[in-house]
Structure 1
Amino acid sequence: MYWYYDPTFLLLIPALLLSLWASITVQTRFARYSQLKSRIGMTGAQLARFILDSAGLYNVRIESVPGTLTDHYDPRTKVVRLSSSTYSSDSIAALGVVAHEIGHAIQDAKRYVPLVVRNTIAPVAQFSSNLAWVFFIIGLITGAFGLAQFGILLFSIAVLFTIITLPVEFDASRRALQILEKNLLMPTDELKGVKAVLSAAAMTYVAAMLTAVLQLIRMILIARRD
């Protein structure tokens, strides 16, 4: 009966609802504040270069990548990649997202401990996440409890990664707001828009962490039941 109806799936409902809400909210807020031009007078790419140079990070490059909200900082190559929705845009939403990614570059330069830890375990976490369920399901089917436990252990590493990600993302947003407010004197009404976008984005990471934690609890419950 377990294979047709698994009551432990109910554990994931709060996380799934939060994920849906966070996704809709970040898209809605980004769209809203993308319509409002910032009075700073810079595009996302110009802002990125200005902040990086001001921080002495002349070696960090800026590249444009396709997509919307595909912005990210690559610590391996020291490249800030800005999406087509932010690279040439001078909107409040775009500048907020760009400043957030520059916050990651500054974290990297200052060897911010949570970022260092996250970058260290990232390859292992990706590997663990992909294989965890394989070992777990094989263990359940064959009755090899050791394999199921190993799957749980692997998934625990992926959960740890999502937990460590939270302080990294919140700190990057804090740095972004500080830079925009103190260094670039962004008006209060625009800062309010940036905060709205970044807080919504932060909730997507909270949702991911909650989903991972509840999924781990679910795996443990299933293993104990079988």
Structure 2
Amino acid sequence: MSTIKQNTSWGNLRQKVYEEIKADIITCRLKPGEPLSENQFLERFQVSKTPIREALTSLQQDHLVEYIPNRGFMVSPISVRDVQEIFDAREFYEVALFRLALKRITAADIEKLEGYSRVEFDLNDPEAITLVLQTNLDFHLLIAKMAGNSRLYWHYARLLDEAQRLIYLDFKSSNILPMWHSSHHGIVDALRDHDEAAGIAAIEDTLELAKRRILTAE
């Protein structure tokens, strides 16, 4: 049980419920297509129904939860079309953001990105996958921030929220850390060298390979 302290402010209460359910969806502890009842979360969080409903509504806006009339909420299933659309959208945003970041990149930015791309993980640690997901998210959002377009950043961040489940499934299905490091190094090198073609190629190749792995995974 994950009881939330009763003296938590209303906004923080709702956010904590949202973040915990979201984490369970991303890491497939709550599986695609699984029904979600308010009662299961009432027992788990020991809170009223209102923050649970608000959290589920926010997750619906993130495309992580669906509402079925007369049945209630369920974890959004993942279809082949979902995978294709998410990866197509990622390619669109990441190429655009890379091009914009290329015009604004600083030595300090490169150093931060290199730090993320050098992080090592102990895959025997059950918490490693959470660290992998967060580091990957931080890496890509930093590039998006460098692009200097707040609207592109907002839409891309929302897309990555939805994409996190696919990234998790990709990491769970195979040992892709060497490819992950290679991809990030390739993007950083392209930013450092102001090599647009190399950066776009690294982005497109990485996303295409990840999409194929997910679509062919058993």
Q: Does TM, normalized by the shorter one, top 0.5?
A: no
The structure with the largest alpha-carbon Rg is 1
Give the TM-score taking structure 2 as reference length: 0.29
Higher relative contact order (CA 8 A, sep 6+): 1
